[in-house]
A and B are shown apart, each in its own frame.
Chain A
Amino acid sequence: MDFEILRNFTYLIASGLFIFGLKLLSKPATASKGNRLAALGMLLAIIITMVDREILTIPIILVGMAVGGIIGIIAARRIQMTAMPQMVGVFNGLGGGASALVAMAEFVNPQVTFASTDGYIYLGTIILSSFIGMVTLSGSFIALGKLQGFVTSKPVALPMQQIVDIVLILGIVGLGFVAANPGSEWAFYGIIAIALILGVVLVMPIGGADMPVVISLLNSYSGLAASATGFVLGNKGLIISGALVGASGLILTSIMCKAMNRSLLNVMFAGVGGDVAASGATAQDNSGKSIREISGDDAAVVMANAQTVIIAPGYGLAVAQAQHEVSELANQLKSRGVDVKYAVHPVAGRMPGHMNVLLAEANVPYDQLYDMDDINREFDNTDVVLIIGANDVVNPAARHDKNSPIYGMPILDVDKARTVIVNKRSMNPGFAGIENELFFADNTFMLFGDAKAAMAQLNKEIVDV
């Protein structure tokens, strides 16, 4: 009994370290320390859990942790920063899957029976935990597929999608009642199967552009799954830690939704794409207007002679792996006395904060990166804005064109700058499939070409200016 107290006390310390670690993670200067404190909390929790295990189980546990640890370290070292959303997606899925497996192990435990009121409640927590965990697992792998490109990034909705979702959930509840009876284990496995299917049908209708929302939401689910497993085992350490992650994922989800001016329900169920195509036809028609091209050497002259340049990167920059060339360009401009800043839209990457990480990797100091709200009032006094691989997040139609599908979405007000240079591969519209009136504006010049090649050329030209 005394050991039980010591163990719970250690879980309390670990939970405190998680909370304090998350708090330190909220400032760039202390973030690294915060992450390490959280890791220390995890280590303490693992050690105290190992202490009173039966001696025969220790080797099994250590082998499992060694295998997982080696895979985890290799993955963490090798992953490209552009593939970070995939990595976090997979980890969400694995965490959710592990929580579900723990709950399933409790279900098959021969010492557990469910034929009592307490038993029913207990079975309910097991089902909840397996359900959330399995939805997280299969949903995360569909999200991975969409990010990686082996599942179409287009929204794929079933006919009567909402009804299918509801039927599947009702099926789980029904099977839950059956599973409480002795000899009806099949019903429990039916629930597992339905949960896996549900994860697939919930993520398939979500478009590639909405991936930041999906990743955040699945992050939240993986926490809730751990928390539910805590209820199964009566383990307060799991309940608290899972709840923290659940809350953090929900906050990021809501930030991402706001950045796209969409509600969570709209992201999940609207099957956007169909929506956009329909209203896109009525959006402003730019066909009568013409665009103006600019050559690399002219663009270099314009930027080198500017006093202030703001760089607005989009996901196209990451696709072209041009972050190092952009960083070099910024450094060249700065050494000429030009004031250079970066404007980062909240959904510039494929997950929250993704673009910031990509630029940090290219040695851009984080204090040169400005959030949308902080930089928007500066565009009025900016000589040149260089837009690289961004489209919908700089489309002024979001401000004034009520017929535009992105109307109301907060954007970077780049059109207010004196000169706008847009680097783009071609005139293809962005994710939302709509034309961008910015490209036809009087102060806009198009610099066509692959971002990496175009930036390399600018770097070369600017030396000669």
Chain B
Amino acid sequence: MFDLDNLFIFALAVLIGFEVITKVPPTLHTPLMSGSNAISGITLIGAILVVNDLPLELGSILGFIAIVLATINVVGGFAVTDRMLNMFKSSK
């Protein structure tokens, strides 16, 4: 059941994350955080997968609440990041 490959994938993804993000200038730290925060809403995928067609089961109710919370995270996160980045202007 436990797939060791997943652990390798996790470790490599962490390294890629470090590599990509180290160079972000301070000006963009807030949008970076709200944008990456939206990405952590990927758990929405998991929430969709655990909802099954027996809506009154506890598992489905938990899944439904998870869908609502994760969607707020995803939609709100990307939207507010977009709003912020539109404010960033160069004087040139």
Contacts and interface: CB of A to CB of B under 8 A. Distances in A.
Interface string A417-447: 0000000000000000000000000000000
Contacts of B83: 76-77
B1 A121 contact: yes
A21 to B, nearest CB: 7
* Contact count band on A: 35 or more
Interface majority SS (helix, strand, loop, mixed), chain A: helix
Interface majority SS (helix, strand, loop, mixed), chain B: helix
A71 B32 CA distance: 22
Contact of B51 (A27, A45, A57, A250): A57
Interface string B1-24: 111001001110111111011111
B31 A61 contact: no
Interface string B34-64: 1111111111111111111101011110111
A60 B88 contact: no
A310 interface: no
Give the residue among B17, B41, B59, B77 with the most A Cβ atoms within 10 A: B17
Given A31-B28, A357-B30, A102 B43 contact: yes
B67 A68 contact: yes
Interface of B: 1-3, 6, 9-11, 13-18, 20-53, 55, 57-60, 62-92
A55 to B, nearest CB: 8
B87 A360 contact: yes
Interface of A: 15, 18-19, 21-23, 25-29, 31-32, 34-36, 38-39, 42, 45-46, 49-50, 53-54, 56-57, 60-61, 64-65, 67-69, 71-73, 75-77, 79, 81, 84, 87-88, 91-92, 94-95, 97-99, 101-102, 104-106, 108-109, 118-119, 121-122, 125, 215-216, 219, 222-223, 225-227, 229-252, 255, 344, 346, 349, 351-354, 356-357, 360-361, 363, 365-369, 371
A243 B40 CA distance: 9
Contact of B39 (A42, A56, A352): A42
- Return the 7 tightest CB-CB contacts between A and B, nearest first: A68-B71, A247-B17, A353-B29, A72-B76, A64-B67, A72-B75, A243-B13
